[in-house]
Structure 1
Amino acid sequence: MDLPRIAPMLATPGALPPPGRDAAWAYETKQDGQRAMLYLGGDGGLVVRSRSGEDVSAAYPELRALGRALPAGRAAVLDAEIVVLDESGRSDFARLQPRMGLAGSPARARRMAVSDPVHAVLFDLVFLDGRLLTGLPWTERRQELEGLALEGPAWSTPRALVGHGEAALRATREHGLEGLLCKRITSRYEPGVRSKNWIKIRNMRTADIVVGGWLPGGGRLSGLPGSVLMGQRHAGGLRYVGSVGTGWSESERTALARLLHAAEIDDCPFSEVPPVAGAHWVVPRLVGEVRYAVRTRNGLLRQPSWLRLRPDLTPEESAADFE
């Protein structure tokens, strides 16, 4: 069956709906993975397309069996998030990253499917058996999706919770999950649109870090830090935990530049030299606070944003547990 190409609907960053409207919204766990549209042609085949529309099927060979999960002749287009799960069953983007971009390397993809298998989290159904479902409300699409009973070794259809948004958000925080998706239960599917009918709430953490270096900015930021290199005390040394280049106002970036220029040194202060080119090293005495999403398996802070300098803290107080 020829299936319509459908762009994924996108969520808008925001907050929980007001308590008085809570029952009008459904809540799903926000996964930390790669968004994908899955095309089941009814002949046992499966095409996986990324958010941009690129065919990435060859990167995820373990998902092929999903094409045979529906009876012969039944065709569907599913909206999903492709993740790699850690030992606790949480999505781990650091483990997924090596799997992404392997559409042109099928042999390597097959090897990695054994060591770091992916899992497709199915959360919407936009086409089924010749019917375009985008005009249906979320509740009806969800009912159709759950009716397919798509549960398998590399895919699942997690339940959504209608109402109880505060409890749902609290649960994601307590379990160390990335965040929450809030979906208006009357909402239609809007292909390619970043809609306020879907709201995403990301759980962010904060950390105290030591500045060990900086990278120059370009253009209007010439002479100013484009990003700073972060470290945290660990095992008697300063361990590199990534770089941060957002969160400053213009005046804050200028003030930070003066401090960094005054603290420049020749030798790298990190226990191991970070894999960055063109770095300027500094005496590791400036402590800052950053907001971030998760700590990756190799200790880096993902999606960091600068919050403020912490002159009240010493570098030794930036110690972190990396285990």
Structure 2
Amino acid sequence: MVSLPRIAPMLATPGKLPPASVDDAYAYEVKQDGQRCIVYCPGDGTVVLRSRSGADITPAYPELAGLGTALGSRPAVLDGEIVALDGEGRSDFERLQSRMGLAGSPARAARMVTKIPAHLMLFDIVFLDAHDLTRSPYAERRTALESLVLAGAAWSTPAAAVGHGQQALDMTRTAGLEGLIAKRLTSLYEPGVRSRAWIKIRHVRTEDIVVGGWLPGHGRLTSLPGALLMGQPGPDGRLHYVGSVGTGWSDTERTTLATLLDTAASDTCPFTERPTAAGARWVTPRLVGEVRYATRTNAGRLRHPSWHRLRPDLTPDHLG
């Protein structure tokens, strides 16, 4: 049996559509809204799923175990996104959240399979048989992936369209999807790198942030967060303050956040620059969330941010 290499996922850089003059040098894939996953199939019928952070999440998704059988004796390392689909076939991160974090509770994960089934969208292959494909161009890797004809009840290989980027982007907007990933056909697979060869084009601007503190709400909400103080790791590895967010969550989400903040309470401000926020309460910076925003100020603050969701699949060490 072949020993499979551990490979960190290649990441896309936020940006705009490539210019029309180079449109046909890119393939366009629908941006999925789920949990990134590297899939290890050693060729003996087994499967190991690892998240972006490298954690083993295999027990959380028992419906994906059959992928190893589908590949047969061919050892492979695949790249994809685990999603939960809504009634219209769109990936819905909020639905998926109830499936995440169950790697330590296989019995509960098994019960959730029928309630909220997970689906693995495969979009790349980085190892096949005895061959490392990371130095092969994207176009060749896609050909190899599609040749495996991986299509099942719990996994599929969505199409990638070469060229026609504007049409593809318009289609995703009309369909209510998050956006596109543009991938240069000649691009190599760069493990662990946020590469400019892959561009993610979203219909709204979003950022992953780290929660470093919070401000209590007013009135009946004094025990709950009225705003979260946000940071992002800088090149120096320290947490830099990027503003506060106080809108966008439901009452249920606010209560969930309050519990998480309470368990992470700290006496120390984690930011390099202490925010001028009266009554701020600090937390150990381990909680990651995603916010929508309008623009950035010259000082790096996020303007008009709105809370989008928790990101339990990410840790501060894996941002950037």
TM-score norm. by structure 2 comes to 0.69
CA deviation map 1:154-173 (0-9, x unaligned): 00001100000000111110
CA deviation map 1:114-153 (0-9, x unaligned): 1001000000010000100111111110000000000001
**Residue equivalent to 2:291:** 303
Task: Please tell me whether the aligned partners of residues 84 and 96 of structure 2 are also in contact (alpha carbons under 8 angstroms).
Answer: yes
**Residue equivalent to 2:9:** 8
Letter aligned with residue 204 of structure 1:
V
**Residue equivalent to 2:317:** none
Q: Tell which structure's C-alpha radius of gyration is larger.
A: 1
**Residue equivalent to 2:158:** 158
Letter aligned with residue 177 of structure 1:
L
Quote the Cα distance in structure 1 between the aligned partners of 2:105 and 2:85.
Answer: 22
**Residue equivalent to 1:145:** 145
Task: Please tell me whether the aligned partners of residues 15 and 199 of structure 1 are also in contact (alpha carbons under 8 angstroms).
Answer: yes
Quote the Cα distance in structure 2 between the aligned partners of 1:54 and 1:218.
Answer: 25
Tell me: CA distance 1:62–1:20, structure 2 relative to 1, closer, same or farther (3 Å).
Answer: same
**Residue equivalent to 2:169:** 169
Quote the Cα distance in structure 1 between the aligned partners of 2:295 and 2:148.
Answer: 46
Q: Within 5 Å, which residues of 2 pair with 1:105-116? A: 105-116=105-116
For structure 2, the 5+ residue unaligned runs are 207-216, 219-225, 232-241, 260-289, 297-320
Letter aligned with residue 48 of structure 2:
V
For structure 1, the 5+ residue unaligned runs are 207-211, 220-224, 231-240, 244-269, 279-301, 309-323
Name the count of aligned residue pairs.
240
For residue 249 of structure 2, give the secondary structure of its aligned residue in structure 1: strand
**Residue equivalent to 2:96:** 96
**Residue equivalent to 2:65:** 64
Quote the Cα distance in structure 2 between the aligned partners of 1:305 and 1:181.
Answer: 20
Tell me: CA distance 1:191–1:277, structure 2 relative to 1, closer, same or farther (3 Å).
Answer: closer
Deviation at 1:303, TM superposition (A): 2.6
Deviation at 1:305, TM superposition (A): 2.4
CA deviation map 1:82-116 (0-9, x unaligned): 00000000000000011111110100100111100
Letter aligned with residue 45 of structure 1:
T
Quote the Cα distance in structure 2 between the aligned partners of 1:113 and 1:12.
Answer: 33
Q: Percent identity?
A: 60
Tell me: CA distance 1:195–1:107, structure 2 relative to 1, closer, same or farther (3 Å).
Answer: same
**Residue equivalent to 1:84:** 84
**Residue equivalent to 2:42:** 41
Tell me: CA distance 1:197–1:218, structure 2 relative to 1, closer, same or farther (3 Å).
Answer: closer
Q: C-alpha root-mean-square deviation of aligned residues, in Å?
A: 2.9
For residue 97 of structure 2, give the secondary structure of its aligned residue in structure 1: helix
Q: Within 5 Å, which residues of 2 pair with 1:255-274? A: 274=254
Quote the Cα distance in structure 2 between the aligned partners of 1:192 and 1:32.
Answer: 19
Quote the Cα distance in structure 2 between the aligned partners of 1:69 and 1:23.
Answer: 33
Task: Please tell me whether the aligned partners of residues 230 and 244 of structure 2 are also in contact (alpha carbons under 8 angstroms).
Answer: no
**Residue equivalent to 2:25:** 24
Tell me: CA distance 1:196–1:218, structure 2 relative to 1, closer, same or farther (3 Å).
Answer: closer
Task: Please tell me whether the aligned partners of residues 215 and 226 of structure 1 are also in contact (alpha carbons under 8 angstroms).
Answer: no
